Amino acid sequence: MQYRTKPEEIEGMPSGIPHIIGNEAAERFSFYGMKAILAVFLSRYLFLMDGGDGTPMDEARSAELVHLFNGVFYLTPIIGAVLADVFFGKYKVIIWLSIVYCAGHAALAMMGMFGNSEYWLMAGMGLIALGAGGIKPCVSAHVGDQFGARNARLIPRIFNWFYFSINLGAFVSMLLTPWLLEWYGPHWAFGVPGILMAIATFMFWLGRKEFAHVPAGGMAFLKEAFGRDGLIAIFKLTPVYLFVAVFWALFDQTGSTWIFQSEDMDRNFLGFEWLPSQIQSLNSIFVLSFIPLFSLFIYPWVENIWPLSSLRKMGTGFIFMTVAFVLVSLIQVNIDGGGKPNIGWQVLAFALLTISEIMVSIVAMEFAYTQAPRKMKSFIMCFYLAAVALGNFLVAGVNHYIRIPSAAEEQLIEAIGLLPEDWQEDPRTAVLPGYDGISGTEDDFIRRLNAGAKLPLEVPGQEILESAASAITTSAATRGNILPSASEGDKIVSAFKDHWGRPLRYLVLNSTTSRIWSAGADGEWNTKWDVGIIIEKNASESEAEPSWFDQFHPAEPWLAKRRKELGLDQDSSEETVESFALETFSGGQVRLQGASYFWFFSGLMGITAFLFIPFAILYRPKSYLQE
């Protein structure tokens, strides 16, 4: 069947737009639903999928993997762009890669059913990165292709509504998917977004007769890409999106480090107790509210005073992002001091972040389209998406660098590799040689293994660490089980010396957790040989008033049921001292701890905003539209 290859010659909106907007809402539900729970799944659920004989993934490693996935996802658009602009056209590529996208969700839903869950996870993430990333530049460019010279003035409006549909789908999914994970587990939580992706594909197929199918450029694409206009466009846009990359390095942490921060906050807000992953949905609420506000009122009002170019909007957005992260840094300062601030403060940070998003993300997407020569619209859109990838790789790199490995865990993995295949049938005691590499000396680690479940780690000088922890919990007991502050804790632990006669350190992690640790056998702080003990206040069981909503979920969360099935609650790796639990460790900390992590990114964004001002003044844009 022959489809129309040029935009309709009309003054109003093209007839195919409703299919694109509906498709985008369902597809974004699919993607953001999966993305909303990924960090929590990696750190709390993944190790339980195949038997629970591993350990939970630490938060820095989880954040690293989340941002690595984001980075790969935003790099694969180059594949879709080349397929669309050179060979097959945007419509065919969107349909084909959407099927790949659906297969990725199916793979995630299969985790824990059979086979190795990590393999299913890698397969699912790979297919989603290829499918979702591959269609990304094609869909947004396909929107622009529906407009000609007569209705080109509507492009900014439709890109706003395009972004509106993204956030409508994201809002619903980021409320529902974490709830599904909490009560019904990963199979449903990953399966439902897959169903929505199938619906999105079907909706897009229904609009095939309404679309303008701009044909692939073929060799004309290559000629234009490497011709004068194409090279100039690439050269001019590259520095723009290096600035934008820093914005995305901060923005996408709402799906990783902001979630982990919210776990240490009072999440009772607007009369509801929010799950940590659900807080992200507030960004979508603000976007849905702020887009009409900015488009209809704020932008026209400011235009009367100060002409608002795309670059001026982006520069202002960078400043708002800096302020948002400064606020998050201050929240973390409070948490580091033992406080438990209300989630309303993070809600305010989300409002500031959303203003930044409207002025940077929407504008940058529109700017990329208008600055691209006609036959390479999808290709140039990849520069916008590559900026997102670069920002996420930056965050992944930072989280990789700040992680300190655990010497005991490294030696345990090596020791298990030397055991017979049936070692899990009998309890074992692994004596790990420690810093000197010789078993039977005073710096050995001891890990007891029982049916694959790793029991408490015994570290050198453990009795001293436990005595110091007892002094801390005794002090806390006199004040209603509130852990001592950093200065108070330092005074308490100063009375103790570690196994090697050196001082101990005390650190408050949040309102319920603190840490006492030693520099370990090597005598150097923040290395894999550090040893210490985590003090965590046990959660108090309170009888909550039943609500009408309780009838929609089981009586017990999926995670609690799964731990009981695996016998992990009986074989706890913690020792209880009054109202506190103690757990020994070796290494495993992070170099950028607490608020210092967020201050690092606040400073990076502030420098970016400052440097962008002279660049924007000197930049000279040139727009291209479809004829």
For 240-285, the pLDDT digits (tens) are 889 999 999 999 999 999 999 999 999 999 888 899 999 989 888 8
Query: Rounded to whole angstroms, how far apart are CA atoms 142 and 98?
Result: 15
pLDDT surpassing 90 at residue 448: no
Rounded Cα–Cα distance for residues 107 and 123 (Å): 7
Task: Choose between 65 and 544: higher pLDDT.
Answer: 65
Distance CA 176, CA 422 (A): 42
End-to-end Cα separation, the chain, in angstroms: 23
Report pLDDT for 612: 95
* Spatial contact of 136 and 74, defined as CB atoms under 8 Å apart: yes
Which is higher by pLDDT, 160 or 38? 38
Tell me the torsion sign for CA atoms 510, 485, 345, 71. Answer: negative
pLDDT at 52 over 70: no
Alpha carbon distance 568, 322 (integer Å): 43
Pick the residue with more confidence: 544 or 127? 127
**Amino acid 606: pLDDT:** 97
Closest CA to 482 of 516, 507, 513, 515: 513
Residues 364 and 24: their CA atoms lie apart, in Å, by: 18
Question: 63-67, 187-191, 212-216, 535-539: which has the minimum mean pLDDT?
Answer: 212-216
* Residue with token string 């209880």: 576
For residue 132, what pLDDT is reported? 87
Task: Summarize pLDDT for 564-589 with one digit per residue, the tens.
Answer: 887 776 443 444 445 888 999 999 88
Amino acid code (one letter) for 382? C
The percent helix, strand, coil of the chain (3-state, each to 5) is 60, 10, 30
Q: pLDDT, tens digit, for every residue of 280-322?
A: 898 888 888 888 898 888 989 988 888 888 889 999 999 999 9
CA-wise closest residue to 90 among 81, 102, 103: 81
pTM for the structure as a whole: 0.87
pLDDT in tens, 291-302: 889 888 898 998
Average pLDDT rounded to a whole number, residues 207-227? 69
Contact 378, 141 (CB under 8 A): yes
How confident is residue 609, by pLDDT bands cut at 50, 70 and 90? very high
Furthest C-alpha separation in the chain? 84
Strand 268-269 relative to strand 272-273: parallel, antiparallel, unpaired?
Answer: antiparallel
The count of residues in the chain is 627
Mean pLDDT score of the chain, rounded to an integer? 84
Q: Which domains does the chain have, with CATH numbers?
A: 17-401+595-618 (1.20.1250.20), 407-538+558-586 (no CATH)
> 586 - beta bridge partners?
531
How far is C-alpha 244 from the chain's CA centre?
Answer: 18
Query: pLDDT category, 455, cuts 50, 70, 90?
Result: low
Residues 267 and 511: their CA atoms lie apart, in Å, by 14
Q: Which of 544, 535, 542, 543 is nearest to 481 (CA)?
A: 535
Name the percent of the chain lying above pLDDT 70.
85
Instruction: Give the pLDDT of residue 226.
Output: 65
Mean predicted confidence (pLDDT) in 594-606 = 96
> Which of 405-419, 425-439, 482-496 has the largest mean confidence?
482-496
Residue type, 146: Q
Query: Which amino acid makes up residue 304?
Result: N
**What is the percent of the chain where pLDDT is above 90?**
43
Which has more confidence, 453 or 210? 210
What is the predicted pLDDT for the residue at 328?
Answer: 97
Question: What is the pLDDT at residue 544?
Answer: 44
Tokens standing for 225? 């890409």
Question: How confident is the model at residue 521, as a pLDDT?
Answer: 93
Q: Is the pLDDT of residue 543 over 50?
A: no
Mean pLDDT of 587-593: 89
For residue range 498-531, list pLDDT tens digits in order: 999 999 999 998 888 999 999 999 999 999 999 9
Q: Which residues pair with 432 in a beta bridge?
A: 445
Please report the pLDDT score of residue 271 as a whole number: 83
In the predicted structure, residue 374 carries a pLDDT above the cut 60: yes
CA distance 420 to 402: 35
Query: Which of 193, 156, 166 shows the shortest CA–CA distance to 177?
Result: 193
Q: Is 458 helix (H, G, I), strand (E, B) or coil?
A: strand
- pLDDT at position 576, please? 44
Residue 548's pLDDT is what?
46
- Which pLDDT value is given to residue 560? 86
